[in-house]
Amino acid sequence: MNDRNKLQPGIKGTSRTSVDAGITALSMGSGEIEVLATPAMAALMEAAAVNCVKPYLPSNETSVGVHIETSHIAATPLGMGVRAEATLEGVEGRRLFFRVEAYDDREKIGEGRHERVIVDREKFLGKVNKKCAGPS
């Protein structure tokens, strides 16, 4: 499709994973228990937002996360599946606003808001790479 003009409120994206040892609070350092880590849940929510808008962006553009606000409301054990959903709620120029939710195989585990900005890949990476060159 690759048509930014078709980015309209109401479009949805999803992402999925299963809880393994690499994304637990214990392994990520965000807690001491082997349950889905809050940072892993937030990353899954961001991935759902990426998946939501990716079909509408030309190949030279992508979106980058600039803000996320979440509540992690239920724990998810090792081995259980997790799904995140993102719904585009608003578009202001290059700024994209999402409602995000996460569910495990039993219940809703998280919810929040997320903001992304559409960027030109080459220009964005050029700015990032300048940081490696030292002081400006």
In this predicted model, what pLDDT tens digit does every residue of 76-117 receive, in sequence order? 999 999 999 999 999 999 999 999 999 999 999 999 999 999
Whether 73 contacts 108, CB under 8 Å = yes
Residue scoring higher pLDDT (133 or 120): 120
Domains held by the chain: number: 1
- Residue with the two structure tokens 């690499």: 22
Residue 67 and residue 82: Cα distance in Å, rounded? 22
Evaluate whether residue 136 is within a structural domain. no
Whether 131 contacts 70, CB under 8 Å = no
Structure-block tokens of residue 22: 């690499």
C-beta atoms surrounding 68 within 10 Å:
17
pLDDT of the residue at 136:
61
Range of the domain at 82: 4-131
Residue 53, Cβ density class (10 Å: 0-12 exposed, 13-18 middle, ≥19 buried) = buried
pLDDT of the residue at 132:
86
CATH number for position 22: 3.10.129.10
Evaluate whether residue 21 is within a structural domain. yes
Whether 83 contacts 102, CB under 8 Å = yes
Give the residue-averaged pLDDT of 3-31: 95
Q: How confident is the model at residue 18 (pLDDT cuts 50, 70, 90)?
A: very high
Q: How confident is the model at residue 63 (pLDDT cuts 50, 70, 90)?
A: very high
Evaluate whether residue 103 is within a structural domain. yes
CA nearest 48: which of 23, 12, 17, 82?
12
Evaluate whether residue 66 is within a structural domain. yes
List all residues 6 or more positions away from 88 whose beta carbon is below 8 Å from its beta carbon: 7, 8, 9, 10, 11, 12, 52, 53, 96, 97, 98
Mean pLDDT score of the chain: 95
Whether 106 contacts 84, CB under 8 Å = no
